[in-house]
Structure 1
Amino acid sequence: MTGTVFQVALGGAIGASARYLLGVTVGHWFGHHTFPMGVIVANILGSFLMGALIVYLGQKGLTHWNAFLATGVLGGFTTFSSFSLETWRLMDEGRYDLAGAYVGLSVVVAIAALIAGVHTMRTVLAA
């Protein structure tokens, strides 16, 4: 149990650091506008990677890496609490149009990215 908690904590630190660096990079690419691009990119990319990862680990018999990689790294990388905060911030500013677009894009595209990750990895592993 203690070893698993350490794996999750270490993975979370790595994932959160990667999310921060991605947010800085995306901010430089797109500018720091009202629309939270860094968070949405992290959620979509993280969802794709989660889909690919769960298939890969499952098919290769490596599920013992789930705590570190899925819960830790990708859990720290994706940003649902940040997503909730950004949605509230947009609503609090009266930007219901952007809040609706943000929620719709985040949910629909992130789920589509997860499905794409699953299909991509299944294709790669089948080759």
Structure 2
Amino acid sequence: MSAYLWVGLGGFLGSVARYAAAVALGAAPTDRFPWATFAVNCLGCLLIGVLVGASAKASVSEPVRLFLVTGILGGFTTFSAFGLEALTLLRRGETSLALLYILGSVLVGIAAVWLGLRFTSGAEA
């Protein structure tokens, strides 16, 4: 089976799980604090740590890794990949690069959302 199909199948399941978690938590994006997104991001980070840690101890095939990590967790939350990549940089002793990645991702990401809103609605974000 194609790597794209494994990622796509996992992504479908992860996206459905994310939606189900948001519905179960009952948090709307307009709430004062985005609890559903916060919970999904934290859970995704825990799960990617467990999966990557377990796969380091056991032989995991590339299709299984793509399905679970890139697919399911990618559909559930890309924040887990962000957390893993930032921690990997820190563990390699590349503190400056890790900080650049963390701050750059957050600040540029927020700026990009603001810019996208400006392009489409002209409204202040």
The reply to whether TM is greater than 0.5 is yes
Q: Which runs of 5+ in 1 are unaligned?
A: 93-127
Alignment of 1:1-127 (within 5 A): 3-27=2-26, 33-64=31-62, 65-80=64-79, 92=125
Please tell me the root mean square deviation across aligned C-alpha atoms, in Å: 2.8
Deviations 1:11-63, CA, capped at 9 Å, x for gaps? 000000000000111116x9x62321111111100000000001112211014
Identity of aligned residues (%): 35
By percentage of residues, which structure has more helix?
1
- Structure ranking higher on relative contact order (CA contacts 8 Å, 6+ apart): 1
Provide runs of 4+ in structure 1 moved above 3 Å: none
TM-score relative to the length of structure 2:
0.58
Give the distance between the partners of 2:9 and 2:56, measured in 1 at CA. 22
CA shift for structure 1 position 79: 4.8
CA shift for structure 1 position 3: 1.1
Indicate if the aligned counterparts of 1:42 and 1:79 stay in contact, CA closer than 8 A.
Answer: no
3-state SS, counterpart of residue 26 of structure 2: helix
Residue type of the partner of 2:48? M
Residue type of the partner of 1:35? F
Q: Which runs of 5+ in 2 are unaligned?
A: 80-105, 118-123
Give the distance between the partners of 1:62 and 1:77, measured in 2 at CA. 21
TM-score relative to the length of structure 1:
0.57
Radius of gyration: which is bigger?
A: 2
Q: Cα–Cα, structure 1 residues 60 and 41, in superposed 2: closer, same or farther, change >3 Å?
A: same
